[in-house]
Amino acid sequence: MINRKNLSENFFNLYGKPEEKFRIFFAPGRVNLIGEHTDYNGGYVFPCALNFGTYLLIRKTGENRIRFSSTNMEFKADIPLSELQKKQGEEWVNYPLGVIDQLRKKGVNPGGAEFLYSGDIPNGAGLSSSASIELVTAFALNALFSGNIPVIDLIKLSQKAENEFVGMNCGIMDQFAVGMGQKDSALFLNCDTLDYELVPLKLKNYRLVIANTNKRRGLTDSKYNERRSECESAVKYLSKGKQIRNLSELSLEEFKEMEIFIPDKVIRQRAMHVISENDRVLRAVPALKSGKLELFGKLMNESHDSLRNDYEVTGPELDTLVEEARKLPGVIGSRMTGAGFGGCTVNLIHKDHVESFLYELSKPYYKKTGLKADYYVADIGEGVREIL
């Protein structure tokens, strides 16, 4: 948890005028339980919001500029309102700038302000630190500058900010989970219609433990965008058999009959992952609802294997963490979460074995990769909000 007193001191050290109050907003990170790389294919996902995330301290100034700082990053910016539409290299401020760009397109014009961000989500770990920054910015500016934009539209515009301003072609899952998360629930979301259901996370004697590979996700954005276009190619090929808008319109049975329309083996594998992953989510949700946690864990395992073999977004670090975790007592499911290529795994573990898990997994992981893993026992929290 972030220390409010330190943050407040930090804010006044940076910006002065302790007599003028700031407001504090918070947006969580997220962990996805199952349904990976399905969102931009109009499929199903099953994420939850975490209780750690990004805090934003913000104060209106009435000046014609916005100042951006973060306790996590060295880069600071002081940008006139007339230049907010310019991208700042590859810096983190592109996330808030992208959001401001989208808010302006909706007729909300943020005036002068001072921002201080502070996050406790590990960066680049695949727990959605970027969606968290986007949503906390959108929510705070909407509140400060009387935007009256409903949260669902803040979610959509945050995704657009990332697609258009940052250049990462992400789907809607992260922003949705960060915006709509509820305590101790997972969100069963149809990414085509945006219909969703909150499913209570009844884990009985089991706990969700997130393990961070601490492998920086270097080429993630380009590889991610490449997977998206491979899925688009699959849709084109399959449309020779049946007109479809996206891969998720096909059931696994239909796909098995139609896969011959895809001449390229790799494209066929990508489609197979997406369609089989949708099928797994549709089986995992009722499994959780009816307390069949062993089945839920088995589907998590199958999800990882499909991401490794067919979608090829795992890599040696994620695969080692998963393989070694599955050997340990009490572990009934282990898979990568998020975009992949590094980042985190999520593990379903009997509570009596959590402590030994943390210890036992580190040894073989370090031996095989030379990296030190970090762990977080996931606490499922609320979506974006003001902290009063």
User: Token digits for 213?
Assistant: 């590979």
Residue of 234, 209, 211 whose CA lies nearest to 371:
211
C-alpha 215/C-alpha 57 separation (Å) is 30
Angle of CA points 385, 376, 302, to nearest 5°: 100
Residue of 125, 119, 8 whose CA lies nearest to 71:
119
Least distance in angstroms from the C-beta of 254 to ligand GLA: 22
Return the number of the residue (22 or 40) whose C-beta is nearest ligand GLA.
40
Place of tokens 């014009």: 109
For residue 336, give the 3-state DSSP assignment: strand
C-alpha 175/C-alpha 31 separation (Å) is 12
Q: Which residues bind ligand GLA (CB under 6 A)?
A: 36-37, 39-40, 170-171, 173-174, 338-339
User: Token digits for 137?
Assistant: 């910015």
Return the number of the residue (15 or 40) whose C-beta is nearest ligand GLA.
40
User: Helix 173-180 crosses helix 129-144 at what angle (to 10 degrees)?
Assistant: 50
Burial of 369 (0-12, 13-18, 19+ CB in 10 A): middle
Q: How far lies 9's CA from each of 12, 15, 56, 163, 169, in Å?
A: 5, 10, 14, 35, 37
Catalytic residue list: 174
**Gap between the terminal Cα atoms of the chain:** 16
For residue 267, give the 3-state DSSP assignment: helix
